Chain A
Amino acid sequence: MDWLGLYNYWVVVILMMAGFYIVIAQGNLVKKIVGLNIFQTSVFIFFISLAKLDGGSAPVYVEGITEYSNPLPHVLILTAIVVGVALTAMGLALVVRVHELYGSIEEDEIHEQDGSD
């Protein structure tokens, strides 16, 4: 039962590995960016999960409630999401440039064009 209780973390692990695998295994530059996104998103879920307190309420002060979820990781992840969006934009902009310059976004075709250098 303990294993099921860590449900969120299993999702994180599976997403993380899936994303990382895509980054490594895919030769398509856009798919690599998608993989990076999944990889980063898993970390966001990880942070949000660790903030949750069983039975904890939203961190708004109300009389009679003594347990709150930790709001700090949520704030951190807001920042990290912004960083992630900037990275995705940067990555996709580079892919557009690559497509203009090489006429392809497949890694092996690009390396073929550049020769062994």
Chain B
Amino acid sequence: MIDQLPALPVVITMAAAPLVMCLLRWPWLAWATTTAACWAALAATIALLHHVLDVGTVSYAMGGWEPPFGIEYRIDAANVFVLLIIAGVSALIMPFAKRSVESEIEASKIPFFYCAFLLANCGLLGVTATGDAFNIFVFFEIAAIASYALIAMGKDRRAVMASYQYLVMGTVGTTFLLIGIGFLYIMTGTLNLNDLAHRLPEVSDTNTVRAAFAFLAVGVSLKLALFPLHLWLPNAYTYAPSMVTVFLSATATKVAIYVLLRLFYSVFGIEFSFEELSMNYVLFPLALLGILIPSIVAVFQNNAKRMLAYSSVANVGYIILGISFATTLGVMASMLHIFNHAITKAALFMALGCVVYRAGGTSLERMAGMGQRMPWTMAAFVLAGLSLIGIPLTVGFITKWHLILASLETGLWPIAVFLLGTSLLAVIYIWKVVEAAYFREPLAENANVQEAPLSLLVPTWVLTLLCVVFGVYTPFTVGIAETAAETLMGGFL
């Protein structure tokens, strides 16, 4: 059993997807099966996490074909951490999903919806678990096609256009990845990431490898919504159904960031990526602009969901900033923020999902007066909002603290000031929502709005409390992030 663990999360979700589609007549059963699959995947991931922390890197030969010829699933501290985020978030949103999805999706389409959700989940888990370059491409596409379908199921007709825009940009991104993989294959004759890492140094002084690097970097940057390649993200997150926004905001961009880390640090190696090609000079300014400009844009948004979508782009900037330092501390801050931002954003979007369920929308006018009408929901929003800003005792503070340490370590003290300044921008946009919710009278049609039902409220609070728990009790996340950063910096062994 323990030998099969690396494949289990991917296999469970993939096998459950067609099963769910057969349950067309029983939406309730489709939901129950999806929930069971997500929790089973989480259980397998937690077992895998313990196993990896005990014995170190685990290699799994898919179908018994030995790597580097067959597809290898290679799990180390870095990707098991990302697997935990995906499996954890998907398991936690399933109780939330039931009512939220029932209110936003037609009953006849619910089984299809859950099928697409499982496939997206499986794709993201697959990208993270696999140690094969071409496999990364295939799983990226599985996750992407499923998420186009999920986004297009939003109620607003603009959801369909948002999904189309995402499809065009996402396909360009993954096709760039494919070109990059092709170049690497020409030069090395292998697709296994570990094998690539060993063979690349011999041929790294060629334009083919540099071109491969460029295509891979741009392709992954499109997928992870690195500023200025983020244009697909705000619309997609704004118009997607609430549950989809929660899931994608917590996982989709994070997985692409993990792939970027893996490629830059493990496959090409620090010397090639950061010394020869000076990627830090590319990533660093993009990260700073990517934090600053979307934060300013977020301040001027009139729809809370869209505001948080722009804030997601800004937070990708924080993660890339950590990566651009090319130090263990920087990568560790990035790994921490991948986790911390995932739970913070998931909690925030869940709170907004509660508001959508009761008030019918998340424009600031509709959210007016919700502080009194939905006190628990808005309290969760405020608490998670504090974590987004980076107030001490929340996870947001832990990442900003480590980012500041990393910037001081590299002697870039103005970055510390910059981070404080951009946190103030987060204060402004969270405050705009708070101001509308607590200090304005509700719309006439929303005068009788009640608190969200418990099935929505409990998962929201679980994630919100996680933001505080991991903000106070840090050894778990910091420990894994540190091991993960050291693994990534060390390259493959």
Annotate B118-149 by CB proximity to A: 1 below 8 A, 0 otherwise: 00000000000000001001100100010011
Q: Cβ of B175 and Cβ of A94 under 8 Å apart?
A: no
Q: Cβ of A20 and Cβ of B160 under 8 Å apart?
A: no
- Residues on A with C-beta less than 8 A from B178 are 43, 47, 80
Q: Cβ of B145 and Cβ of A73 under 8 Å apart?
A: no
A15–B148 Cα gap in the complex (Å)? Answer: 26
A46–B138 Cα gap in the complex (Å)? Answer: 18
Q: Cβ of A23 and Cβ of B168 under 8 Å apart?
A: yes
Annotate A33-45 by CB proximity to B: 1 below 8 A, 0 otherwise: 0001001100100
A36–B157 Cα gap in the complex (Å)? Answer: 23
Contacting A98 at CB < 8 Å: which of B164, B171, B179, B186?
B164
Closest A residue to B174 using CB positions: A83
On whether A94 and B158 interact (CB within 8 A), knowing A23-B168, A43-B182, A86-B145, the answer reads no
- Residues on A with C-beta less than 8 A from B152 are 94, 97
- Interfacial residues of chain B within 174-198, with CB under 8 A of chain A in the complex: 175, 178-179, 182, 185-186
Q: Cβ of A87 and Cβ of B168 under 8 Å apart?
A: no
Interface of A is mostly: helix
- Residues on A with C-beta less than 8 A from B465 are none
Task: Identify which of B137, B149, B167 gathers the most chain A CB atoms within 10 Å of its CB.
Answer: B167
Q: Is B172 an interface residue (CB 8 A)?
A: yes
Interface size on B, residues (CB 8 A): 24
- Interfacial residues of chain A within 61-117, with CB under 8 A of chain B in the complex: 73, 76, 79-80, 83, 86-87, 90-91, 94-95, 97-98, 101-102, 110, 114, 117
- Residues on A with C-beta less than 8 A from B175 are 39-40, 43
A37–B461 Cα gap in the complex (Å)? Answer: 45
- Residues on B with C-beta less than 8 A from A83 are 137-138, 141
- Residues on B with C-beta less than 8 A from A80 are 137, 178
Q: Is A11 an interface residue (CB 8 A)?
A: no
Task: Identify which of A32, A94, A117 gathers the most chain B CB atoms within 10 Å of its CB.
Answer: A94
A110–B235 Cα gap in the complex (Å)? Answer: 14
Q: Cβ of A87 and Cβ of B145 under 8 Å apart?
A: yes
- Residues on B with C-beta less than 8 A from A79 are 134, 138
Contacting B172 at CB < 8 Å: which of A29, A39, A94?
A39
B180 CB to nearest A CB, Å = 10
- Residues on B with C-beta less than 8 A from A87 are 141, 145, 167, 171
B54 CB to nearest A CB, Å = 35
Q: Cβ of A20 and Cβ of B172 under 8 Å apart?
A: yes
Q: Cβ of A90 and Cβ of B148 under 8 Å apart?
A: yes
Interface of B is mostly: helix
A103 CB to nearest B CB, Å = 11
- Residues on B with C-beta less than 8 A from A76 are 134
A79–B171 Cα gap in the complex (Å)? Answer: 15
Give the interface size class of chain A.
20 to 34
- Residues on B with C-beta less than 8 A from A40 are 171, 175
A40–B219 Cα gap in the complex (Å)? Answer: 14
- Residues on B with C-beta less than 8 A from A91 are 164, 167-168, 171
Q: Is A50 an interface residue (CB 8 A)?
A: yes
Contacting A90 at CB < 8 Å: which of B137, B138, B167, B185?
B167
Q: Cβ of A73 and Cβ of B185 under 8 Å apart?
A: yes
- Interfacial residues of chain B within 63-116, with CB under 8 A of chain A in the complex: none
A87–B173 Cα gap in the complex (Å)? Answer: 13
On whether A98 and B160 interact (CB within 8 A), knowing A36-B171, A36-B172, A87-B167, the answer reads yes
Closest B residue to A110 using CB positions: B161
Extra A-B contacts (19), CB below 8 Å, given A36-B168, A73-B185, A91-B164: A20-B172, A23-B168, A36-B171, A39-B172, A40-B171, A43-B175, A43-B182, A46-B182, A47-B178, A50-B186, A73-B182, A83-B137, A83-B141, A87-B167, A94-B152, A94-B164, A97-B160, A98-B161, A114-B158
Q: Which residues of B line the A interface, CB within 8 A?
A: 134, 137-138, 141, 145, 148-149, 152, 157-158, 160-161, 163-164, 167-168, 171-172, 175, 178-179, 182, 185-186
Interchain residue pairs with CB less than 8 A apart (20): A23-B168, A36-B172, A40-B171, A40-B175, A43-B175, A46-B179, A47-B182, A73-B182, A73-B185, A80-B137, A83-B138, A90-B145, A90-B167, A91-B167, A94-B152, A97-B160, A98-B161, A114-B158, A114-B161, A117-B158
